Amino acid sequence: MKFFLLLFVSLGSIVQVVAQRACGTGAYWQTLLKQDPEMRARYTRIEGAADELLPVSKKSQETGIAEAPVITIPVVIHVLYQTAEQNISDGRIQSQLKILNDDFRKRNSDTSLIPAAFASLSADCGIQFELAKQDPEGRPTTGIIRKRTDQVSWQQDDKMKFSASGGNDAWDSRYYLNIWVCNLNRSLLGYATFPGAAPEKDGVVIRTDVFGISGSQSSSYSRGRTTTHEVGHWLNLKHLWGDADCGDDGVEDTPPQKTFNSGCPSFPHVSPNSCNPLPSGDMFMNFMDFSDDACLHMFTFGQRQRIQQLFLPAGPRASFLQSAALDEPWNFTDVPVNENNAARSLLNVFPNPASEQITLRSADRHILKEGAYSIYDFTGRLVISGFVTDSRYIRIHRLKSGIYLIRIQSSSNSLSAKFIKE
**How far apart (Å, rounded) are the C-alpha atoms in residues 176 and 3?**
32
Q: Is the dihedral of CA 8, 13, 16, 17 positive or negative?
A: positive
Which has the closest alpha carbon to 250: 6, 60, 23, 24?
6
Residue 362, CB-side half-sphere exposure with 13 Å CA sphere: 16
Res. 411: pLDDT tops 90: no
Res. 182: pLDDT tops 90: yes
pLDDT at 345: 42
SS3 label, residue 355: coil
pLDDT at 62: 56
C-alpha triplet 380, 383, 389: angle, nearest 5°: 120
Tell the CATH topology of 25-322. Answer: Collagenase (Catalytic Domain) (3.40.390)
Mean pLDDT of 386-402: 83
Res. 355: pLDDT tops 60: yes
Res. 232: pLDDT tops 80: yes
Q: In the chain, where are the structural domains located?
A: 25-322, 339-421
Phi-psi region at 408: left, alpha or beta (left = phi > 0; alpha = psi -120 to 50) = beta
pLDDT above 70 coverage of the chain, percent: 84
Chain segment 362-379, per-residue pLDDT in tens: 755 566 767 788 999 877
In terms of pLDDT, which residue wins out, 101 or 388? 101
Length of the chain in terms of residues written = 422
**How far apart (Å, rounded) are the C-alpha atoms in residues 306 and 218?**
31
SS3 label, residue 270: coil
pLDDT at 4: 34
Band of the pLDDT at 274, cuts 50, 70, 90?
A: confident
**How far apart (Å, rounded) are the C-alpha atoms in residues 63 and 56?**
11
Res. 344: pLDDT tops 50: no
Band of the pLDDT at 16, cuts 50, 70, 90?
A: very low
Between helix 25-35 and helix 37-51 the angle, nearest 10°, is 120
Q: Is 422 a catalytic residue?
A: no
Instruction: Report the amino acid identity of residue 344.
Output: R
Chain segment 209-231, per-residue pLDDT in tens: 999 997 655 579 999 999 999 99
Secondary structure of 254-265 in the HEC alphabet? CCCCCCCCCCCC
Res. 342: pLDDT tops 60: no
- Selecting among 47, 52, 67, 230, the annotated active-site residue is 230
Res. 339: pLDDT tops 80: no
In terms of pLDDT, which residue wins out, 383 or 343? 383
Res. 361: pLDDT tops 80: no
> Among 117-121, 291-295, 312-316, 364-368, where is mean pLDDT lowest?
364-368
**How far apart (Å, rounded) are the C-alpha atoms in residues 277 and 2?**
14
**How far apart (Å, rounded) are the C-alpha atoms in residues 391 and 133?**
33
Res. 8: pLDDT tops 60: no
pLDDT at 3: 36
Mean pLDDT of 304-329: 94
For domain 339-421, give the CATH superfamily.
Immunoglobulins (2.60.40.10)
**How far apart (Å, rounded) are the C-alpha atoms in residues 412 and 13?**
62
Q: Tell me the whole-structure pTM to 2 decimals.
A: 0.76
Mean pLDDT of 10-26: 55
